[in-house]
């Protein structure tokens, strides 16, 4: 196909023409209200200028930026050849959201006025091109064009058959050029403003934080369940006792069931972000963690001071996961050893310490992602966590502010 014919064969040329012509709707409505029924250029200019104040005022409504953005996406950039996201920046080229500042409102109002004027010009040109095409076609068959004809025809009327497609062809090229200009202008005026870029960045940050939280939830819950299962299975095989094997299988079943509940809750958040997930476990429900660790052979010594049920939701939920990861690390790296858990809560802070005897198998307890996740959870709550050997023990201390 010759290159000069490509603008006439691209679908985007005609969708952009529709976008331009739709912008002239206020002009058409004004023609009915005013009652002007003439095709003179002066009256068309009058009708194009008449609705400017109303269109500009409408552009100041925040929702109009959403409507204009959606129209621009669908008509100025249709199809797969015009991607709506920058692969490098990961942000929309055309914003489709309500205006967030007066600057965005003003730019939207200016865009709507520009679209009104460009649309009025394109609508007038389309009418003239259509009328001229009809005049040529009528002259070919011998019809008298009459006094209101757009152009005056002379000579052999059959020769005008070669001119019949000319007006619409010119209209097609003009539409392609005007549409490209409007598309370029839309990128500047309907693209993300600084406020919208900041808002998009905040949303992206929230999404990343949520993804990290979900990753930590899966790591802590599933990792804890698998660790318990591995420890219990190994102990049952070493004990070679039917009674102990039954006890180990029961512990694996309970831990696996709890892990499945956590997995279902997390997957529900991923599948249906708008739906509330099941309640996350809190530190007041730490008994099941301690019972699970005891069933694996660990001797757990627990001391709780203060009302755990009065802790703020974020603090008690994250503290539960921290304790879960701490016990998982002990079982994974040290095995069934004595563990001391101290939980102290008051009106100002929550102090959680987990200690276990230090031997050669527990020296690597801080090398994985579990300890990093504990530190991240503590940091997000404005607290701190530290872990390391001391006095022949591996000590984990987490200090979280409550108020």
Q: Select from 128, 30, 113 the least CA-distant residue to 68.
A: 113
Q: Taking residues 149-162, what's their average pLDDT?
A: 61
Q: Name the pLDDT band for 83 (thresholds 50, 70, 90).
A: very low
Q: Count CB atoms within 10 A of the CB of residue 299.
A: 12
194-239 and 369-380 are packed helices; what angle lies between their axes, rounded to 10 degrees? 140
Give the pLDDT score at 257.
76
**Core vs surface per residue 51-71: b (16+ CB within 10 A) or e:** beeebbebbbeeebbbebbeb
Token representation of residue 118: 């460009």
Could you identify the residue written with the tokens 């052999």? 156
Give the pLDDT score at 158.
65
Instruction: Check pLDDT > 50 for residue 29.
Output: yes
More confident residue, 80 or 309: 309
SS3 for the chain is CCHHHHHHHCHHHHHHHHHHHHCCHHHHHHHHHHCCCCCCHHHHHHHHHCCHHHHHHHHCCHHHHHHHHHHHHHHHCCCCCCCCECCCCCCECCCCCCCCCHHHHHHHHHHHHHHHHHHHHHHHHHHHHHHHHHHHHHHHCCCCCCCCCCCCCCCCHHHHHHCCCHHHHHHHHHHHHHHHHHHHHHHHHCCCCHHHHHHHHHHHHHHHHHHHHHHHHHHHHHHHHHHHHHHHHHHHHHHCCHHHHHHHHHHHHHHHHHHHHHHHHHHHHHHCCCCCCCCCCCHHHCHHHHHHHHHCCCEEEEEEECCHHHCCHHHHHHHHHHHHHHHHHHHHHCCCCEEEEEEEECCCEEEEEEEEECCHHHCCCCCCHHHHHHHHHHHHCCCEEEEEEECCEEEEEEEEECC
Give the pLDDT score at 280.
72
Calculate what percentage of the chain has a pLDDT beyond 90.
22
Give the pLDDT score at 200.
64
More confident residue, 275 or 107: 107
More confident residue, 255 or 101: 101
Instruction: Check pLDDT > 60 for residue 76.
Output: yes
Instruction: Check pLDDT > 50 for residue 107.
Output: yes
Q: In what order do the strands lie in the sheet with 349-357?
A: 299-305, 338-345, 349-357, 393-401, 384-390
Give the pLDDT score at 142.
64
Give the pLDDT score at 325.
85
Find the distance separating the first CA and the last CA of the chain, reported in whole Å.
Answer: 72
More confident residue, 156 or 204: 204
What separation in angstroms does the CA of 300 have from each of 112, 296, 330, 336, 342?
A: 70, 11, 11, 10, 10
Could you identify the residue written with the tokens 């990343």? 208
Q: Select from 214, 213, 223, 210 the least CA-distant residue to 325.
A: 223
Asked whether 89 and 21 are in contact (CB, 8 A), the reply is no
Instruction: Check pLDDT > 50 for residue 143.
Output: yes
pTM value? Answer: 0.51
Instruction: Check pLDDT > 90 for residue 369.
Output: no
Instruction: Check pLDDT > 90 for residue 1.
Output: no
More confident residue, 309 or 148: 309
Give the pLDDT score at 392.
82
Instruction: Check pLDDT > 90 for residue 44.
Output: no
- pLDDT, tens digit (0-9, with 9 covering 90-100), for 261-313: 777 766 766 666 544 444 678 888 888 788 877 877 778 899 999 888 888 88
More confident residue, 34 or 69: 69
Instruction: Check pLDDT > 90 for residue 159.
Output: no
Instruction: Check pLDDT > 60 for residue 79.
Output: yes
Give the pLDDT score at 276.
47
Distance of CA 61 to the CA centre of its chain: 24
Instruction: Check pLDDT > 50 for residue 90.
Output: no
The overall average pLDDT reported for the chain is: 78
Give the pLDDT score at 273.
55
- pLDDT, tens digit (0-9, with 9 covering 90-100), for 52-73: 999 999 999 999 999 999 999 8
Give the pLDDT score at 365.
44
Give the pLDDT score at 277.
44
């Amino acid at each position: 196909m010759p290159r000069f014919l490509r603008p006439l064969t691209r679908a985007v040329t005609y969708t952009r023409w529709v976008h331009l012509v739709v912008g002239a709707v206020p002009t058409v409505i004004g023609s009915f209200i005013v009652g002007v029924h003439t095709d003179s250029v002066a009256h068309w200019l009058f009708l194009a200028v008449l609705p400017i104040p109303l269109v500009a005022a409408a552009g100041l409504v925040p929702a109009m930026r959403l409507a204009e953005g959606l129209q621009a996406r669908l008509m100025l950039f249709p199809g797969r050849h015009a991607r709506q996201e920058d692969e490098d920046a990961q942000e929309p080229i055309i914003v489709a959201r309500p205006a967030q500042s007066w600057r965005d409102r003003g730019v939207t109002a200016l865009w709507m006025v520009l679209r009104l004027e460009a649309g009025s010009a394109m609508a007038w040109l389309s009418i003239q091109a259509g009328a001229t095409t009809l005049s040529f076609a009528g002259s070919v068959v011998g019809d008298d064009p009459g006094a209101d004809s757009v152009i005056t025809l002379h000579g052999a009327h059959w020769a005008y058959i070669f001119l019949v497609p000319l007006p619409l062809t010119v209209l097609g090229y003009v539409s392609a050029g005007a549409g490209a200009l409007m598309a370029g202008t839309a990128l500047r005026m309907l693209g993300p403003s600084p406020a919208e870029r900041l808002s998009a960045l905040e949303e992206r940050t929230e999404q990343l934080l949520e993804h990290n939280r979900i990753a930590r939830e899966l790591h802590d819950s599933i990792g804890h369940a698998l660790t318990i299962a591995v420890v219990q299975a190994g102990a049952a095989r070493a004990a070679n006792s039917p009674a102990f094997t039954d006890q180990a299988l029961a512990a694996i079943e309970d831990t696996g069931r709890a892990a499945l509940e956590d997995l279902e809750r997390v997957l529900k958040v991923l599948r249906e972000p708008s739906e509330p997930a099941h309640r996350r476990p809190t530190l007041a429900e730490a008994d099941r963690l301690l019972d699970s660790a005891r069933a694996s052979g660990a001797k757990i010594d627990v001391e709780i001071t203060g009302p755990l049920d009065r802790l703020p939701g974020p603090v008690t939920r994250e503290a539960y996961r921290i304790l879960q990861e701490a016990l998982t690390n002990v079982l994974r790296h040290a095995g069934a050893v004595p563990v001391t858990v101290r939980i102290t809560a008051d009106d100002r802070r929550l102090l959680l310490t987990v200690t276990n005897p230090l031997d050669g198998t527990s020296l690597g307890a801080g090398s994985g992602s579990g300890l990093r996740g504990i530190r991240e959870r503590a940091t997000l709550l404005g607290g701190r966590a530290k872990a390391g050997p001391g006095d022949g023990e591996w000590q984990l201390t987490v200090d979280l502010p409550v108020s």
